[in-house]
Amino acid sequence: MSKIKPSKGAPYARILGVGGYRPTRVVPNEVILEKIDSSDEWIRSRSGIATRHWASPEETVAAMSVEASGKAIADAGIRPEQIGAVVVSTVSHFHQTPAIATEIADRIGAGKPAAFDISAGCAGFGYGLTLAKGMIVEGSAEYVLVIGVERLSDLTDLEDRATAFLFGDGAGAVVVGPSGEPHIGPTVWGSEGDKASTIKQTVPWDAFHGGNVSTLPLDSQGAIKFPAITQEGQAVFRWAVFEMAKVAQQALDAAGITADDLDVFIPHQANLRIIDSMVKTLKLPEHVTVARDVETTGNTSAASIPLAMERLLATGKAKSGDTALVIGFGAGLVYAATVVTLP
């Protein structure tokens, strides 16, 4: 018989507050067209994107996260020192160690919480939310700060016609805390590693370490290109539209609700065509508010869902207490979907 005492966590967890930060610089498609042979009409028709935000040197991954976190903590009505864990999802923090979560925790005045980074691409927010829920129910933390943050402009090849227009920068954060009722449903998540090559970094970091630089990609001026994100657009589109709609339906089933019970749909803001196709495949009723933040924010990977959530609430298109289906999907290929009550 085990001598270990049972955990004393909360029966359930919920999102208590949300915050977002978008860099001050707004970049229209015209700027992208300076480097690629395309048109504003083509970019909008393929992605739905009209503008995106790019960070300045001062708007670092940590700085943007601190801004978003402060808003989320204030929205939750708690003190920073009550945060028991900080979980950061990002692929654009370029220090292998330490985790950027530790710096963020210190800068927001959280005391000495558990702090770590995760790498789950565009599904990272869903992964972090699931970990936060587990910590609260298990009892290892009362409040968990989950951050999705990216500076994807640092990983964008502006000469790549297939991806140059897609990516933006920003940070979104939520505070997850205890609840007496279920407000975060079961997570449907997974990976399809056989498709990993469809979204990837062009060259690994160690290619610059004692490697043969003649094998590295060059830009139009003959300079070595920094590693960038590349993808097989059509393969990703088909996977996202058909397979992720199935995952989204599984999340609804796991939560014990139907599409008619939904108030809001917040998918990863990858591409407007993908979003609209998922809405059609899921047969969402007209009363369901759909996040289309991608039009003015671009694809911000792990930050896209909390940023879209924050904007819907701030503009009144969604309200506290609404039932929302959230789903993230991307590089790996990985995915995570769940139903939540909005803060």
Give the pLDDT band of residue 219 (cuts 50, 70, 90): confident
Give the pLDDT band of residue 211 (cuts 50, 70, 90): low
pLDDT at 4: 87
Give me the amino acid identity at 209: H
Whether residue 75 has pLDDT greater than 90: yes
Gap between the Cα atoms of 230 and 62, Å rounded: 25
pLDDT at 202: 85
pLDDT at 28: 98
Q: With the CA atoms of 97, 101, 104 and 106 taken in that order, what torsion angle do they form, in degrees rounded to the nearest 10?
A: -80
Q: What is the mean pLDDT of residues 249-273?
A: 97
Which tokens go with 161?
Answer: 């016609």
| φ/ψ of residue 209, rounded to 5 | -110, 95
* Average pLDDT for the chain: 95
Whether residue 245 has pLDDT greater than 80: yes
Gap between the Cα atoms of 14 and 126, Å rounded: 13
Q: What is the mean pLDDT of residues 144-154?
A: 98
Q: How far is CA 194 from the centre of its chain?
A: 22
Give the pLDDT band of residue 5 (cuts 50, 70, 90): confident
Catalytic residues: 122, 268, 299
Among the listed ranges 203-207, 286-290, 301-305, which one has the minimum average pLDDT value?
203-207
Gap between the Cα atoms of 43 and 33, Å rounded: 9
Q: Give residues with Cβ within 8 angstroms of 331, minimum separation 6.
A: 91, 121, 122, 196, 199, 200, 229
Give the pLDDT band of residue 192 (cuts 50, 70, 90): very high
Gap between the Cα atoms of 60 and 36, Å rounded: 27
